[in-house]
Amino acid sequence: MIDARRLRVLREVAQQGTLAAAADALHLTPSAVSQQLAALEREVGQPVVERNGRGIRLTGAAELLVAHANVVLAQLEAAAADVAAYAEGAVGTVRIAGFATALGELVAPAVVALRGSHPRLTLIVEESEAPGCFVALARGDADIAISMASRQAPEDPRFRRRALMTDTLDAVLPAGHPLANRERIALAELAGEDFVGPPEGTSCHDVTVTGCAAAGFAPAFRHRTLDFHTAMALAASGLGVTLVPRLGQAAVPAGAVVRPLADPAPARHVFAATRAGAEGRPAVAAVLDALSRGLVSAGASAGAGVRPAGAHRTSITTGHSPS
């Protein structure tokens, strides 16, 4: 009989690429990982790793096992969800990791709703951009990751996704800009402008660059910030133009003008992810449903409650107001 815990270790080695990285992800020592792999080899009667220079690589048998591991581990999560579903109501703790504007505009309204419907449910919220939120999800340090489609969030068989919303980007210009009086502008009209944009390597940077590429140009980034209010303030000062998603348009600074872009406008495709099979756990399902139900109010108040880009961690018990 193959031990599912050893399948989890093998899958993490395949995902991380080294024993050391897999050990870190699993909160084990490299020696413990090696021991688990050796035990798995005895169980299946074949080697699962082999030396490759200074590192290791999976054998053909191991690659087959990893494919089965995705199915087996998802089924075990689903079994745990089915057992938990017999309990009365959703009780327990759900940890959410996600980007700042999603926490402010999607998670915060969900907390208010859950406080009334599930008073014994506790949420722990941590700001985390991709890929960090998915590392936390895989480790079990988070139960739900909220992210957007990008290179930093590739499809992964370990996770299940639920689409939440499409968050369209608008242009933000200084009030004196020649296009500021237009009702709607084409993104291509900004091709010669200096841009205030997100740092390279972030999901929002990818969305901006991809949208501009579709319009036929590469944006000339002169100034960088991940905080949308700061980006709008810099645009208002005349340092350039910027693209800001509607969830991030909080308290538009004086001197800045927001103008919608002609279709096809770039957008962030926001989703919630769970470990495969865990989406059926009552507490997790309650939070996912609250996130989906809250989208109408979030859309009506898009731009309110922007959060600073600095990382923070908050524990919220839905049964009472946080201190």
Q: DSSP label at 262?
A: P
**What local confidence, expressed as pLDDT, does residue 97 receive?**
98
Report the CATH number that the domain containing residue 10 is assigned in CATH.
Answer: 1.10.10.10
For 103-135, how does the pLDDT look when each residue is reduced to its tens digit (9 = 90+)? 999 999 999 999 988 888 899 999 999 999 999
Residue 186: both structure tokens together:
């084409």
Whether 160 and 173 map to the same domain: the answer is no
Q: DSSP label at 260?
A: P
Whether 243 and 177 map to the same domain: the answer is yes
Q: Do 280 and 85 meet the contact criterion of CB atoms below 8 Å apart?
A: yes
Residue 134 lies in a domain: yes
Residue 127 CA: distances (Å) to CA of 72, 185, 218, 286, 293: 31, 33, 29, 20, 21
For 260-317, how does the pLDDT look when each residue is reduced to its tens digit (9 = 90+)? 999 999 999 999 999 999 998 889 999 999 999 866 444 433 333 222 223 333 333 3
Whether 137 and 275 map to the same domain: the answer is yes
CA distance 283 to 84: 9
Residue 316 CA: distances (Å) to CA of 38, 97, 285, 297, 323: 43, 13, 17, 20, 9
Whether 263 and 141 map to the same domain: the answer is no
Report the CATH number that the domain containing residue 123 is assigned in CATH.
Answer: 3.40.190.10
CA distance 23 to 92: 28
Whether 100 and 246 map to the same domain: the answer is no
CA nearest to 287, candidates 111, 101, 80: 111
Whether 155 and 112 map to the same domain: the answer is yes
Whether 222 and 75 map to the same domain: the answer is no
CA distance 13 to 49: 10
Phi-psi region of 237 (alpha: psi -120 to 50; beta: other; left: phi over 0): alpha
For 212-269, how does the pLDDT look when each residue is reduced to its tens digit (9 = 90+)? 999 999 999 999 999 999 999 999 999 999 999 999 997 899 999 999 999 999 999 9
* 291 Cβ contact list (under 8 Å, min separation 6): 106, 107, 110, 146, 164, 272
Whether 236 and 276 map to the same domain: the answer is no
CA distance 36 to 30: 10
- Confidence band for 318, pLDDT divided at 50, 70 and 90: very low
- Confidence band for 173, pLDDT divided at 50, 70 and 90: very high
Q: DSSP label at 120?
A: T
Whether 186 shows a pLDDT value over 70: the answer reads yes
Q: 282 φ, ψ to 5°?
A: -55, -45
Instruction: Please state the rounded mean pLDDT for residues 88-105.
Output: 86
Residue 322 lies in a domain: no
Whether 140 and 70 map to the same domain: the answer is no
Q: Is the peptide bond before 131 cis (omega within 30 degrees of 0)?
A: yes
CA 143 to chain centre: 12
CA distance 63 to 109: 43
- Final residue before a domain boundary, out of 56, 84, 112: 84
**What local confidence, expressed as pLDDT, does residue 295 receive?**
60
Instruction: Please state the rounded mean pLDDT for residues 181-186.
Output: 94
Residue 202 CA: distances (Å) to CA of 74, 144, 147, 199: 29, 20, 11, 6
pTM of the complete model: 0.74
Residue 12: both structure tokens together:
């993490």
Residue 323 lies in a domain: no
**What local confidence, expressed as pLDDT, does residue 266 receive?**
95
The string over 6-43, giving b where at least 16 C-beta atoms fall within 10 Å of a residue's C-beta and e elsewhere, is bbbbbbbbbebeebeebbbbbebeeeebbebbeebbee
Whether 73 and 18 map to the same domain: the answer is yes
Instruction: Give residue for tokens 């990382």.
Output: 311
Whether 253 and 236 map to the same domain: the answer is yes
**What local confidence, expressed as pLDDT, does residue 28 receive?**
93
Whether 263 and 278 map to the same domain: the answer is no
**Helix pair angle (4-16, 60-84), 10° resolution:** 120
Count of alpha carbons within 13 Å of 43, Cβ hemisphere only?
A: 18
- Final residue before a domain boundary, out of 248, 267, 286: 267
What value does the mean pLDDT of the chain take?
Answer: 87
- Domain count for the chain: 3
Q: Do 208 and 218 meet the contact criterion of CB atoms below 8 Å apart?
A: no
Residue 77 lies in a domain: yes
Domain that holds residue 131: 92-165+270-317
